[in-house]
Amino acid sequence: MNPSELATAVVGQARDGRFSEIATRFSPELRAAVSGAALEAAWAAQIGEHGPVTALGEPVAEPAGPGLTRVQAPVVCAHGGFLVVLSVDSAGTVAGLRLALAAEWTKPSYVDETVFVERNIVLSAEPHSVPGTLTVPRGEGPWPGVVLLSGGGIFDRDETAGPNKPLKDLAWGLASRGVAVLRFDKVTHAHPELATAPGFTMSAEYVPHAAAAVRLLQAQDGVDATRVFVAGHSMGGKVAPLVAIAEPSVAGLVLLAADAEPMHEAAVRVVQHLAAVDAKVEVLVEPITRQAAAVADPALSPSTPGENLLFGYPGSYWLELRDYDPVATAAALEKPMFLLQGGRDYQVTVEDDLSRWRNGLTERHGVDVRIYPEDDHLFFPGTGPSTPDSYRQPQHVDAAVVADVADWLARQR
């Protein structure tokens, strides 16, 4: 049975309620992280939102590294649909499985597809490989290059959120303006079981593949190897200084809504903010506050299980985050930086995060800062308070953000 046939079989079993049978197809690592009951609950949530299944679409398979294939199987429902995304190994075992929104994305008005070419690549960083996409302007160059890093969570290379793909907006927008771009699926997207694995850390989640991406982009014809930058969004911005340490050839950093407030403290602030604007969120305040306290507990150890901590990350993940100061790490780098921040962002804010960057980098030359008053966390422009529901509406990254990043990169010589 090839990966596409396997995906069709798994989706058919889910439609028929045979979740325990699906679990028998899992690798031992995935079986330890995801039970048949958990899959059943996730499936029921999708059916509750989109209605009963009316059809199963044709699976689409692509290489995801040596011996691994990723398959996206569409599920059509009465009121919409979603995707079942599987990672299948060479033995025909399901090594990863998740349910995702079936996003409908249209290109932004500032994109000109005639001026760049795009191809899929695979990034190898032991022990895991991930798929990605290389987007390069047509012509001889030499072009500046940038590696894109998505925010915290199990994101694909486009940072897909509902119908929106902010990193694809950015990649295509920058390529339209003469910048070569490489973006890739996070290792937790290609290998979801890693997110809760003992010993896992933020550095392991980002740095090996980001450094490999820098080197791969530098090796491309038409790319100026001395002008390859790292641009990180949200947690991707927080970790970007560590990438520059791991790969010293990085020419500079672009930090888009990079968080600097300790993450467990920010989680409490954000849930309290959301509860104040939506009473339904109130039920989350107590558990998130309790889990944040567990993260802050001096007794936290690498072996503390993730189910007792925020977002299911293990103790090892939080110990690194607690000890990591992204601002001080960035300040020690002799590299140019461009910090961008949305004024309507309630997740990473001017007051709680950008202020820390500004204070810590005040003695540094070559640091540019720009605030976009109308933009939210994804740099989508709008009016009024930003809410999670706004991310469900089709939008695009602010054209001014794309232009400013492209112009800043062009000036770094």
- Identity (one letter) of the amino acid at 351? E
Question: Which DSSP state fits 359?
Answer: H
By DSSP bridging, strand 128-137 and strand 116-125 are antiparallel
- Of 259, 377, 386, 398, which is the active-site residue? 377
Residue 264 annotated among the catalytic residues of the structure: no
Residue 90 annotated among the catalytic residues of the structure: no
- Of 156, 185, 259, 345, which is the active-site residue? 345
116 close to 137: Cβ distance less than 8 angstroms: yes
Burial of 325: CB neighbours in 10 Å, binned 0-12, 13-18, 19+: middle
DSSP string, 361-376: TTT-SSEEEEEETTB-
Which of 379, 394, 336, 388 minimizes the C-alpha distance to 170?
Answer: 379
Kindly state the greatest CA–CA separation across the chain.
62
Residue 234 annotated among the catalytic residues of the structure: yes
Q: Which residues contact 166 (CB under 8 A, 6 or more apart)?
A: 158, 159, 233, 378, 379, 380, 396, 397
Compute the distance between CA of residue 44 and CA of residue 46 in angstroms, rounded to an integer.
5
- Of 87, 234, 316, 386, which is the active-site residue? 234
Q: At what angle do helices 202-218 and 315-323 cross, to 10 degrees?
A: 70
DSSP string, 389-404: GGGGS-----HHHHHH
Compute the distance between CA of residue 303 and CA of residue 125 in angstroms, rounded to an integer.
25
Q: At what angle do helices 315-323 and 263-277 cross, to 10 degrees?
A: 100
Which residues are marked as active site?
A: 234, 345, 377
